[in-house]
Amino acid sequence: MKASKSGVVREIAEERIRILYDLAKKAYPDDPELSKSYTRIIKQISRHYKITLSKEIKTGICKNCGSVLIPGISASVRLVSSKKYASYKCLVCGAERHIPY
Ligand SMILES: [Zn+2]
């Protein structure tokens, strides 16, 4: 089965997003601003091609400031077992997010 042309474009865009996410994570400790520019591009691509970001990427980028959230480096993660969610706190801007598990 051949993928349609738009399907191929989407696949390339999804691949780019994955690469950019890896780059953002690698760049963060040395250059948070560069890392943020990668996450900005991720958001632009996903908006442009209407791609839903994977759960990993969605939870890995601060919605408020666009920083990549690396537990122990740019984010603190706390499990709230009574409510069954993980609390991700961005250490750059302080925004908190609850991710059910
Ligand atoms: Zn933030």
Q: Which domain holds residue 10?
A: 5-100
For 75-90, the pLDDT digits (tens) are: 999 999 999 999 999 9
What is the arrangement of strands in the sheet containing 96-100, beginning at the earlier edge strand? Answer: 75-80, 85-90, 96-100
Cα 48 to averaged position of ligand 1 atoms, centre (Å)? 23
Number of domains in the chain: 1
Query: What are the residues whose beta carbon lies below 5 Å from ligand 1 (ion)?
Result: 62, 64-65, 67, 90, 92-93, 95
Residues 41, 68: Cα–Cα separation, whole Å = 13
For 15-34, the pLDDT digits (tens) are: 999 999 999 999 999 999 99
Contact status, residue 53 vs residue 46, Cβ threshold 8 Å: yes
pLDDT > 80? residue 1? no
Judge if pTM exceeds 0.85: yes
Cα 58 to averaged position of ligand 1 atoms, centre (Å)? 13
